[in-house]
Amino acid sequence: MSKSTAVEDEIAPVPERAEEQTRREKAAEFLASHEDTSFTYEEEKAVLRRVDCRILPLLLGAYFFQQLDKSTLSYTSVFDIVSGAHLVGNEYSWLGSVLYLAQLVMQPAMAFLLVKFPNGKVLSSAILCWGAALSIMTACTSFHSLLGMRFVLGCFEAMIAPCCVAFTQTWWRRSEQTMRTSYWSAMNGVTLMIGSLFTYGLGHIDSANMFKYQIIFLFCGLLTVAYSFVVFILVPDSPMEAKFLTDRERVIATERLRANQMGITSRKWRWDHVWETATDVKTYLWFIAVTSISIASGGITTFGSLIVKSFGYSSFTTILFNIPFGAIQLISILGTAWFAKRFQCKGLVIAFNSVLPSIGAIIMLTVSRKNKGVLLFGYYLVSCLASITPLIFNWSSSNTAGDTKKKCTSAVVFIGMCVGNVIGPLLYSTDQAPLYRKGLIADLCMFVVVGVVSGLIPIYLKYLNRRHAARRQQLGKSVAIIDESMASGANKDKLEESRKAVEVEDVREAEKGARDVNGAAAGPGAQHRSLEEDNALHDVTDLKNEDFIYVY
């Protein structure tokens, strides 16, 4: 077999190609019902501002309460939950792990629910249920009752991160997704700061009928229940159904997402997408990376307060020291997201950022417990690990297309996160105090693994881009295409010039009988072609869509 024949076999269109080109999803049908879908940059900017003002704060709030509620265990660890609930051995560790074990079990069901049901209603229902579960934990005074309710809490919290990823993919372009993902992920740091202040105040309440940990559970749970009603009323299910936008703005909010080449909402479960997720090499690379960092994160999140207390600080001082820890997480998450967006190199940013927590772990392993300040500095360096997980979330989601495949890939990534967070706390034990050497050594190894894997992933993505270019050439398309999804306001003028050049070339090809599949044109005459023949708004996966461009 000749080399050229081998290449043709590799890039030949799949049998379902004709079916994929004729299938319309909801977004394509919505745009087809409107005559004018073109828009100016100023109009797009105004719509983006309205989306940011409505959707983003609600997502931030949802993620904040999820982080607050699951972190209540860590806050209560420095007060009386160990003695009040008579916890011994690894029982406290299991209370940390079981929440993620529940999330692990629920991920396949979560992916199915997000495809089949309105995402806004799913999110508000999940918030209501986990808030109620945390409130009920107030009545728990033994290991078994706490374990059972922590499992229930995890089942409903399993929805939050996949929902946030789904909303980010549904409402923002790929160039905008990195920072939006970092915003809701930064709620980790905000939760540590505000949650520590809540706990500090609530910890001073003396009650004859309730332990302090029960007061904390009840307060946070009821706040969450109240917020669920806000989400139910204000969060729309998709851009096409957003009542806070005018009809014209809904068209723009939908049309602007065409450049993502990812589809928007189909509400159809596709088993071929499931199979492609299972056979896609990227799936396993994301899984390894997120599992590694989650092992470290799970241990530090659950035992962080106990580690700081082991330096020789009191309970209330330990709680206050979590505030700078949260502030560093907030700065780290937003800073690394900015670098990744600015330089378009998520892999290198993740690899570099794994160095800082590695140094922090080494400090805590080697420095004497007499040097409290140095140990605290090492602990704060470890907090930089929080910036890695949201970058992996965004990296995987922005390199995946097809409604079902997007949800399944997110599920796999969150399964990896859950597996890591189940394992992480179990590598620690209250019996290891005050050094916690076993857990810290394991975390150090995981930082190295995630750095190496993140450095290798861009190599594979570049290979996939070359393969798509070869397929476009075989189909008679432009080899070099414009990735509008990664365009920002800073380069809009340059992009407009490139788009006009592409439109001229498309007209020439049309005169020769060639169809336009570029998807970059949005002006008169290109609208009908793009709706009928463009892959962007159809339910096509990234591996089968030769117009899809992978980002590093």
Mean pLDDT along residues 399-415: 84
Q: What confidence score (pLDDT) does residue 17 get?
A: 41
d(Cα 80, Cα 72) in Å, to the nearest integer? 12
d(Cα 529, Cα 31) in Å, to the nearest integer? 12
| pLDDT tens for each residue of 275-284 | 888 889 999 9
Give the structural domain span for 358. Answer: 41-465
Contact 244, 50 (CB under 8 A): yes
| 474 occurs within a structural domain | no
Burial class (CB in 10 A: 0-12, 13-18, 19+), 431: exposed
User: pTM of the prediction?
Assistant: 0.72
Q: Kindly provide the b/e burial profile for residues 188-203, where b requires at least 16 CB atoms within 10 angstroms of the residue's own CB.
A: bbbbbbbbbebbbebb
* Nearest of 485, 534, 527, 549 to residue 31 by alpha carbon: 527
Distance of alpha carbon 357 from the chain centroid: 21
Residue type, 497: E
The CATH number given to whatever domain includes residue 190 is 1.20.1250.20
Q: What confidence score (pLDDT) does residue 354 get?
A: 92
Three-class SS string for 374-438?
HHHHHHHHHHHHHHHHHHHHHHHHHCCCCHHHHHHHHHHHHHHHHHHHHHHHHCCCHHHCCCCHH
| 551 occurs within a structural domain | no
Q: What confidence score (pLDDT) does residue 28 get?
A: 67
d(Cα 294, Cα 296) in Å, to the nearest integer? 5
| pLDDT tens for each residue of 298-350 | 888 777 778 888 888 877 788 788 888 888 989 999 999 888 888 888 888 99
What CA–CA distances, in Å, run from 391 to 162, 172, 259? Answer: 14, 16, 21
Domain count within the chain: 1
Q: Which residue is listed with tokens 């997408």? A: 273
| pLDDT tens for each residue of 175-206 | 888 888 889 888 888 988 898 888 888 888 88
Helices (H), 78-173: 81-84, 91-116, 119-136, 143-157, 160-171
| 486 occurs within a structural domain | no
Burial class (CB in 10 A: 0-12, 13-18, 19+), 126: buried
| 352 occurs within a structural domain | yes
> CB neighbours (10 Å) of residue 327?
16
| 549 occurs within a structural domain | no
| 232 occurs within a structural domain | yes
| 32 occurs within a structural domain | no
Q: Which residue is listed with tokens 């299972």? A: 278
Q: How confident is the model at residue 482 (pLDDT cuts 50, 70, 90)?
A: low
Percentage with pLDDT > 70 across the chain: 83
What rounded mean pLDDT belongs to the chain?
Answer: 79
| Phi, psi values for residue 520, rounded to 5° | -85, -25
| pLDDT tens for each residue of 222-280 | 999 999 999 999 998 888 888 898 888 888 888 887 766 555 555 677 788 888 888 89
| pLDDT tens for each residue of 88-124 | 778 888 888 888 889 888 878 887 888 788 888 999 9
| pLDDT tens for each residue of 513-552 | 444 434 333 333 334 334 444 555 566 787 888 888 888 8
* Three-class DSSP category at 441: helix
| 536 occurs within a structural domain | no
d(Cα 438, Cα 263) in Å, to the nearest integer? 45
Report which of residues 209 and 413 the model is more confident about: 413
Token pair, residue 311, equals 């330096």
